[in-house]
Structure 1
Amino acid sequence: MELKTVNPTAKAPADRFTGDVYVTSIYSGTEPSRMTVALVRFTPGAHTNWHRHGVGQTLHVTEGVGLVGTRDGHVVRVRAGDTVICPPDEEHWHGAAADTFMSHLAMLENLPDGGDPTTWLEPLPYQDYQAADQR
């Protein structure tokens, strides 16, 4: 058994997120594990850019209300206790609803070759976020 102490929280980079988002790394696996887990906290209205993960991503909402959207226009409203599974290479975005904070555990695997498992894309247009939040 190994106890890991709490890692410092960092502000997420503005070139990948809209609004204020904070990330606390929880676990970054060492071989043979490739698991990565982070607690991500979104302020009201904050959200990610479009992105995809080579091995997929699982989001488990721990607090608040949020949104997860895909390129085909499908959007789900998520609440504390909900889990969303994004399959490998599905382009998606996620974040808080406009009027509440939202926190989730973001769980994914690093690529077998050690490359970055996340491909970051363009920002979500504001009008697309607004339309998603009004559903």
Structure 2
Amino acid sequence: MEFVKQPATMKLPEAWFTGDAWADVIHRGEDPLRARANMVRFAPGARTAWHSHGLGQVLCIVEGVALIQARGGRIIEARPGEAVWTPAGEEHWHGAAPDRFMAHIALWEGDDVNWLEHVTDAEYDSARTRP
């Protein structure tokens, strides 16, 4: 057993995020265990660009109201204690509601992330639903 040195909190890049978001690495596995876990904190209205993960992603909501949308689907609202799975290759985005900070733990495997275009304000402001 060993303690793992954690890197400093990092501001996430404008190329991949609209608004302010920060990440703390919880775990960054190397082969053969390639599991990744980050605590990601979003300012109100902040969100990722459209993207997909080669092996999928789980988002565990810790604080606030998360907005999550798969390409072609409705925006869903997720709350603390809820988890959302996005399958391998599914284009999606996630972020904070416009009036609340949001934090989630993102879990995925490997570095196979395909970053796409930014989510437009019209897409962000479209109808929402609860699962």
TM bracket (short chain)? over 0.9
Distance 1:98 1:133, change over 3 A: farther
In structure 1, the residue matched to 2:71 is: 71
Q: Secondary structure at the match of 1:58?
A: strand
Amino acid at match of 2:112: P
Q: Secondary structure at the match of 1:2?
A: coil
Match for residue 124 of structure 2 among 124, 129, 134 = 129
What do you get for the CA RMSD once the two structures are aligned? 1.5
In structure 2, the residue matched to 1:11 is: 11
In structure 2, the residue matched to 1:118 is: 113
Shift of 1:7: 2.7
1:10-38 residue CA offsets vs partner (Å, 9 max, x unmatched):
10000100000001111111222010111
Output the TM-score relative to the length of structure 2: 0.93
1:84-114 residue CA offsets vs partner (Å, 9 max, x unmatched):
000000000000000000000111001xxxx
- Aligned pair count? 130
Shift of 1:5: 4.0
Q: Distance in 1 between matches of 2:98 and 2:116?
A: 22
Can you give the 5+ residue segments of structure 2 that lack an aligned partner in the other structure? none
Q: Distance in 1 between matches of 2:104 and 2:127?
A: 19
Amino acid at match of 1:21: A
Task: Confirm or deny that 1:86 pairs with 2:86.
Answer: yes
Output the TM-score relative to the length of structure 1: 0.90
Query: Which stretch of structure 1 is more off in the superposition, 2-11 or 92-101?
Result: 2-11
1:40-69 residue CA offsets vs partner (Å, 9 max, x unmatched):
000000000000000000100111111000
Q: Are the counterparts in 2 of residues 97 and 133 from structure 1 also a CA contact under 8 Å?
A: no
Aligned-pair identity in percent equals 45
Q: Secondary structure at the match of 1:8?
A: coil
Q: Secondary structure at the match of 2:23?
A: strand
**Aligned ranges for residues 17-32 of structure 1 at < 5 Å?**
17-32=17-32
